[in-house]
Amino acid sequence: MLKFIALNTVLVGLCAGCAAAPPLKMTFHSDPEGATLYERGRLWGATPVTLSYEESRAAFARHECLPLSPMHVRWASGVVTTVDNLQACPASGLQQAYVFMRPADAAGAEIDADFARQLQRDNALQEKVGTQDASVVAGLAQTQNEK
């Protein structure tokens, strides 16, 4: 019975250590950016996309690499790149990145470059609107406080 209690205490200690560690954050990029990221058929959105991997806590605690699911990206031109053997290793830290490279010899490179530029412009506009919204909200809050 004493052995069971001691082993149980060690296991609980290991699990508590795993829960305290932050999970791996993997950011997926594409070159050019804006390709749509899929993991086993699940749509994640346009790159860059950051995914969190809770299962990395236990694997990294054991100093093991974490195999990731097969992924592929599709650019606006329809070009697809697939990677089946992705893995994240603890030596690379808890914030990692992977870049899907568009095949240089594939047709439609200008379509994908134009799409990436448009996404960049859209993101800049959204950021500007967000900043303006924050200023309006702050002004309204100040007006309310003055009343």
Q: What does the domain layout of the chain look like in residue ranges? A: 2-146
State the chain's mean pLDDT as an integer.
86
Q: What is the pLDDT of residues 65-118, one digit of tens each?
A: 999 999 999 999 999 999 999 999 999 999 999 999 999 999 999 999 999 999
Using left for φ > 0, alpha for ψ between -120 and 50, and beta otherwise, residue 38 falls in beta
**What is residue 130's predicted lDDT score, i.e. its pLDDT?**
76
**139 half-sphere exposure, CB direction, 13 A CA radius:** 6
Return the number of other C-beta atoms located less than 10 Å from residue 109's C-beta: 16
Contact yes or no for 37/79 (Cβ under 8 A): no
pTM: 0.74
Q: What percent of the chain has pLDDT over 70?
A: 76
pLDDT digits (tens, 9 = 90+) for 2-49: 444 444 444 444 454 555 789 999 999 999 999 999 999 899 999 999
If one counts every other C-beta atom within 10 angstroms of the C-beta of residue 10, the result is 10
